[in-house]
Amino acid sequence: DIQLTQSPSFLSASVGDRVTITCRASQGISSYLAWYQQKPGKAPKLLIYAASTLQSGVPSRFSGSGSGTEFTLTISSLQPEDFATYYCQQLNSYPPVFGPGTKVDIK
């Protein structure tokens, strides 16, 4: 099975900051990677698929990049509603595992 790691596990940031989260796969997954945002008590929300394609309705301050084994999610200017936990997921092969998550907290 493909394993995903995320760094950092926890990130403290301020409104307006540029934030970058990294997801690494144990083997190449081309661009078969999605990013999700989850707020406490809520279901995950799809942000990005195909590593860099923004889901409809997601603000343009979110962007994704990478291919192969290393991927990044960037929030260009952190907004109050962006404080949440972010997960990557590989969909290159079964099982479509999730990364362990990165919690973005208020500094």
CB closer to other proteins, 68 vs 100: 100
Which 8-state DSSP code applies to residue 81? Answer: G
If one asks whether residue 24 binds other proteins (CB under 8 A), the answer comes out as: no
Q: Which residues pair with 62 in a beta bridge?
A: 75
State the minimum distance, in angstroms, from the CB of residue 38 to other proteins.
Answer: 8
CB closer to other proteins, 44 vs 66: 44
Instruction: State yes or no: cis peptide before 95, omega within 30 of 0.
Output: yes
Residue 94 buriedness (CB in 10 A; 0-12 / 13-18 / 19+): exposed
Q: Fill in the amino acid letter for 52.
A: S
If one asks whether residue 2 binds other proteins (CB under 8 A), the answer comes out as: no
d(CA 27, CA 102): 20
Binding segment (CB under 8 A) for other proteins, from list 16-24, 31-39, 67-75, 76-84: 31-39
State the minimum distance, in angstroms, from the CB of residue 52 to other proteins.
Answer: 9
Contact flags string 78-97 toward other proteins, x per CB under 8 A: ---------x-x-x--xxxx
If one asks whether residue 45 binds other proteins (CB under 8 A), the answer comes out as: yes
Any idea of the CA torsion for 72, 99, 62, 81, to the nearest 10 degrees? -140
CB closer to other proteins, 51 vs 75: 51
